[in-house]
């Protein structure tokens, strides 16, 4: 495969530099794959089972989750009453974090369209929550989704994204599984 800088900028690099760059890129790719595996398989402590808790009055809580290529979200009020939920299949998503980000983005857009102004979005992806808050590097592949999420959060100042344990996210997980039980159009 020809060097991209050579093709577009007329720059040529010695073979050892190209090999070193390929090794660095491979190591970075493997590190990100390992982060993805950790994100998916991270068990919650057996002594610490956190349950979903309702938000304070006048607030809505919206949980998101994914199952393979299925995404889902559920919103509930301070009494724990179901307000809205959604399940959808998405093809072509390459990682659990990308799939979770897609679910979160859809939930944020949906809640905004429905006119809710004070919403806490809970995700069980620590990696995603850190990317959104800016404390972790955003992966280039999901940069557009993260950018869309942060823009939506800036427009809706009373929206916030928080990490919450998988134990407290079981309803959204079940809804994401439903994306596979509904027939495709």
Neighbours of 144 (CB within 10 A): 12
> Does residue 183 surpass a pLDDT of 60?
no
State the residue for tokens 């509904």: 182
Q: The pTM is what?
A: 0.70
Element (H, E) at 62: strand 60-67
Indicate if 26 and 110 belong to the same structural domain.
Answer: no
Q: Give ∠ CA 181-116-75 in degrees, rounded to 5.
A: 35
Sign of CA dihedral 122, 101, 72, 159: positive
Per-residue pLDDT of 29-82, as tens digits, reads 566 666 655 554 444 444 456 788 999 999 999 999 888 778 889 999 999 999
Supply the CATH number for residue 97's domain: 3.30.420.10
Whether 8 is in a domain gets the answer no
Six token digits for residue 127:
């990696």
Whether 70 is in a domain gets the answer yes
Range(s) of the domain holding residue 86: 60-178
Sign of CA dihedral 65, 67, 72, 76: negative
In the chain, the percentage of residues whose pLDDT exceeds 90 is 46
């Amino acid at each position: 495969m020809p060097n991209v800088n050579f093709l577009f900028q007329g720059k040529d690099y010695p073979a050892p530099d190209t090999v070193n760059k390929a090794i660095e890129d491979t190591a970075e790719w493997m590190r990100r794959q390992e982060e993805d595996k950790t994100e998916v398989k991270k068990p919650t402590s057996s002594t610490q089972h956190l349950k979903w808790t309702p938000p304070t009055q006048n607030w809505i809580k919206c949980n998101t989750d994914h199952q393979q290529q299925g995404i889902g979200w559920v919103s509930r009020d301070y009494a724990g009453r179901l307000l809205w939920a959604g399940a959808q299949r998405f093809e072509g998503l390459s990682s659990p974090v990308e799939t979770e980000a897609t679910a979160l983005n859809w939930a944020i857009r949906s809640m905004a369209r429905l006119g809710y102004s004070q919403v806490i979005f809970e995700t069980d992806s620590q990696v995603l929550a850190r990317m959104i808050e800016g404390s972790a590097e955003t992966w280039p592949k999901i940069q557009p989704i993260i950018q869309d999420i942060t823009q939506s959060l800036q427009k809706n100042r009373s929206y916030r994204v928080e990490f919450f344990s998988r134990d407290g996210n079981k309803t959204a997980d079940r809804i994401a599984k439903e994306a596979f039980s509904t027939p495709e159009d």
